[in-house]
């Protein structure tokens, strides 16, 4: 049985089990249609990550869309806990978030909880997290979120805004609540016990002091659900609507589902970082990518490969937007027409383009000021 919580994803994740355990809802065909019709009305296609069930479950997304049609506004909230370099397994969620922001033309609150990993990882120093923070913020800024409508929240630096709200949430959460949700014990440090309150705040921060409360939609990977489950349990008691969420599966690591069900910053051989060179990308994929191909060329040509367990195919599922290209790869690989090396090359080309464009966009950034304007947008506590 796989273990999935906000700090650990171990084993081959069975998403059907997770749906039951966490109590999240599958995105139904009706909801998908709804999202498609909204997209089409804005002249864009439904996002491939929804089409392909990478974003596969949700909480109250149907309700949020109904409210939206009635004129009830919402904002987006997502985040990044800075603990290492940014890799593709982070990026796809934010690319998707940008798509949502553009589609609905809404505000995005992007949290950098720079105390979280410090509190949860024994040997991680505060200074190291701060260094990662500066680096990670640049990667997020390079994505090109609407600068008029995007606000970075840094937990330690903006604690004068977050902490007064966090204590209101914290008063409604007992140790028992977090114990069961996060597997904390009496030996857990008291910062880690308090932490979830800080993660809850952006889910209602834009509504603080406002008479009309806004809805909130959180795009996130399914392992973060325990946080927002707790947030949803208490948020109405502090006067705000429950945040909705749209949740995705993990991008598997290079070594494949069995060994590497979620790409991890700390495993070099698992990840393609946004700072990798074209040569590194090529070498890592060629060396580590778990293949669904046959042992020999002859067998592969004869029996075909298995794209479903092949990491290259599965990554294309995340990053190749064109369904026709993807389908052709699937078919050709399965029938043995496409060889593993050829499939790797298709992926290498695709990812190299994405990473190089990202690096160029990152270089063009002057500073992060446009995203760090707390005085202008947050009411002081």
By the criterion CB under 8 A, which residues form the site for its own copies? 115, 118-119, 126, 155-160, 162-164, 166-168, 170-179, 184-194, 196-197, 380-381
Radius of gyration of the chain (CA): 21
Query: Closest distance between its own copies and the C-beta of residue 51, in Å?
Result: 40
Residues 6+ apart with CB under 8 A from 316: 325, 326, 329, 346, 347, 350
45 to 39, 144, 225, 316, 323: CA distances (angstroms) = 6, 20, 27, 18, 11
Asked if residues 75 and 101 have their Cβ atoms less than 8 Å apart, the reply is: no
Asked if residues 199 and 115 have their Cβ atoms less than 8 Å apart, the reply is: no
The residue (of 28 and 189) whose beta carbon lies closer to its own copies is: 189
The residue (of 169 and 217) whose beta carbon lies closer to its own copies is: 169
Query: Closest distance between its own copies and the C-beta of residue 169, in Å?
Result: 8
Query: Closest distance between its own copies and the C-beta of residue 264, in Å?
Result: 22
Asked if residues 244 and 63 have their Cβ atoms less than 8 Å apart, the reply is: yes
Query: Closest distance between its own copies and the C-beta of residue 360, in Å?
Result: 32
The residue (of 66 and 237) whose beta carbon lies closer to its own copies is: 237
Query: Closest distance between its own copies and the C-beta of residue 81, in Å?
Result: 13
Chain CA centroid to CA 231, Å: 18
In angstroms, the CA 301 to CA 154 distance is 53
The residue (of 147 and 164) whose beta carbon lies closer to its own copies is: 164
> Nearest Cα to 86, choosing from 356, 289, 317, 275?
275
The residue (of 80 and 158) whose beta carbon lies closer to its own copies is: 158
Query: Closest distance between its own copies and the C-beta of residue 211, in Å?
Result: 16
The residue (of 118 and 319) whose beta carbon lies closer to its own copies is: 118
């Amino acid at each position: 049985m796989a273990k999935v919580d906000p700090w650990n994803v171990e084993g081959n994740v069975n998403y059907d089990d997770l749906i039951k355990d966490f109590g999240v809802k599958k995105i139904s065909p009706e909801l998908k249609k709804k999202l498609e019709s909204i997209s089409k009305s804005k002249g864009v296609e439904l996002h491939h990550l929804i089409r392909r069930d990478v974003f596969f479950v949700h909480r109250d997304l149907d309700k949020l869309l109904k409210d939206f049609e009635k004129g009830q506004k919402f904002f987006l909230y997502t985040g990044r806990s800075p603990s290492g370099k940014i890799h593709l397994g982070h990026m796809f969620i934010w690319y998707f978030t940008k798509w949502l922001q553009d589609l609905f033309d809404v505000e995005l609150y992007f949290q950098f909880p720079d105390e979280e990993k410090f509190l949860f990882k024994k040997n991680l120093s505060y200074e190291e997290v701060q260094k990662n923070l500066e680096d990670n913020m640049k990667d997020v800024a390079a994505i090109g979120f609407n600068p008029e409508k995007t606000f970075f929240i840094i937990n330690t630096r903006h604690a004068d805004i977050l902490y007064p709200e966090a204590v209101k949430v914290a008063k409604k959460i007992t140790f028992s609540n977090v114990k069961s949700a996060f597997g904390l014990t009496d030996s857990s440090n008291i910062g880690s016990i308090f932490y979830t309150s800080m993660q809850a705040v952006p889910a209602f921060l834009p509504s603080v002091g406002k008479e009309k409360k806004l809805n909130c939609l959180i795009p996130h990977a399914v392992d973060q659900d325990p946080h927002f489950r707790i947030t949803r349990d208490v948020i109405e008691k502090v006067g705000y609507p429950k945040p909705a969420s749209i949740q995705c599966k993990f991008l598997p690591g290079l070594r494949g589902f069995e060994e590497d069900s979620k790409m991890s910053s700390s495993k070099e051989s698992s990840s393609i970082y946004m700072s990798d060179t074209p040569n590194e990308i090529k070498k890592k994929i060629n060396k580590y990518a778990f293949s669904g191909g046959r042992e020999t060329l002859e067998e592969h040509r004869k029996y075909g490969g298995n794209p479903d367990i092949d990491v290259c195919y599965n990554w294309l599922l995340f990053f190749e937007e064109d369904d026709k290209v993807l389908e052709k790869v699937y078919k050709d690989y399965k029938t043995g027409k496409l060889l593993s090396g050829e499939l790797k090359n298709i992926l290498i080309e695709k990812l190299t383009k994405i990473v190089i464009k990202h690096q160029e966009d990152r270089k063009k950034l002057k500073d992060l000021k446009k995203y760090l304007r707390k005085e202008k947008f947050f009411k002081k506590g």
